Structure formats: C-alpha cells, structure tokens
Amino acid sequence: MRNGSLIVETLISLFLILLTVVIFTTIIVGVAKNVTLTEKSIETFLFTNFAYDFLSKYGVGHLIEQGVYEEINREFWKDKWNDQNPPFPHIDSSGSTVEDVVLPSSSDVKYKKITLKIKINEGASIERIVIIGD
C-alpha cells in the first residue's frame, strides 16, 4: 500500500514541477515578446520624429521630391541602410504624399501636409501625417 502512494506522490510532484516550468517559460516568452514590441515602437517613434525634423526645413514653397524620402532613410540608418534589403522602420516613398493646403478660414495661412507611409515590418505599415507651416 505504501509503494502505491509513493508513486502517486512522485507523479503529482513531477506534474507540479512541469507545470511550474511551463508557467515560467510562458512568462519569460511573453516578457521577451513585449520588450521586442516596445523596442520596435520606440524605434518607429524616433524615426517619425527624425523624419519630421528633416522635413521641417521644407516650407510651403519648397518642392519635396521622392528622393527626399530615400535621403531620410539613409540619414537615419547611416551604415545600416541597404537599398536591396532596407531595415525597418523606413519610409515607403511610393505611398507618401505631399499637399500644399490653404486654410478655408483664411487665404493667408498655408501649410504643407505630408503623409508618410512608414513600413514597420515586412507585412505592415503605418501612416503618419506631418504638418509644416510657412
């Protein structure tokens, strides 16, 4: 009778140890995934701010050509930039647009509305609007 209860106690102990290992592994994987997402979010935020600062020198009367977006990507990434395999995030120049806009209430106030399409990974992109006044 004693041998049977010893086997049951051993099996229960092994099950509890396995359950504890699974719980800790799940927690560690979850934290690692959140840290990676947070790092990517911060990098995207910094890239967007860099693009805004870079574009702020182009006032209402200045023309922003498609090459400017590639220049932003190169300046932000420096040595890591590669045209064939660009790092993320980067501006997708084909989806980015520029508009010169006049406020309806006043014909004197003009601003430039730039819609940036920022690729954050292979399958996803976000759009950010940059407003630059004259």
Which of the pair, 134 or 37, is modelled with greater confidence? 37
Q: Is the pLDDT of residue 36 over 60?
A: yes
Mean pLDDT along residues 7-24: 92
For residue range 19-35, what is the model confidence (pLDDT) as tens digits?
Answer: 999 999 999 888 888 77
Which of the pair, 36 or 65, is modelled with greater confidence? 65
For residue range 72-105, what is the model confidence (pLDDT) as tens digits?
Answer: 999 999 988 888 888 999 998 888 888 877 777 7
Give residue for tokens 């099950």.
Answer: 15
Number of domains comprising the chain: 1
Instruction: Quote the domain boundaries for residue 77.
Output: 2-133
Which pairs count as long-range contacts for 117-121, CB under 8 Å and 24+ apart, including other chains?
117/91, 117/92, 118/44, 118/47, 118/48, 118/51, 118/89, 118/90, 118/91, 118/92, 119/88, 119/89, 119/90, 119/91, 119/92, 120/40, 120/44, 120/88, 120/89, 121/40, 121/88
Strands 90-91 and 110-119: antiparallel
- What pLDDT was estimated at residue 84? 84
For residue range 47-73, what is the model confidence (pLDDT) as tens digits?
Answer: 999 999 998 887 767 788 888 999 999
pTM of the model: 0.67
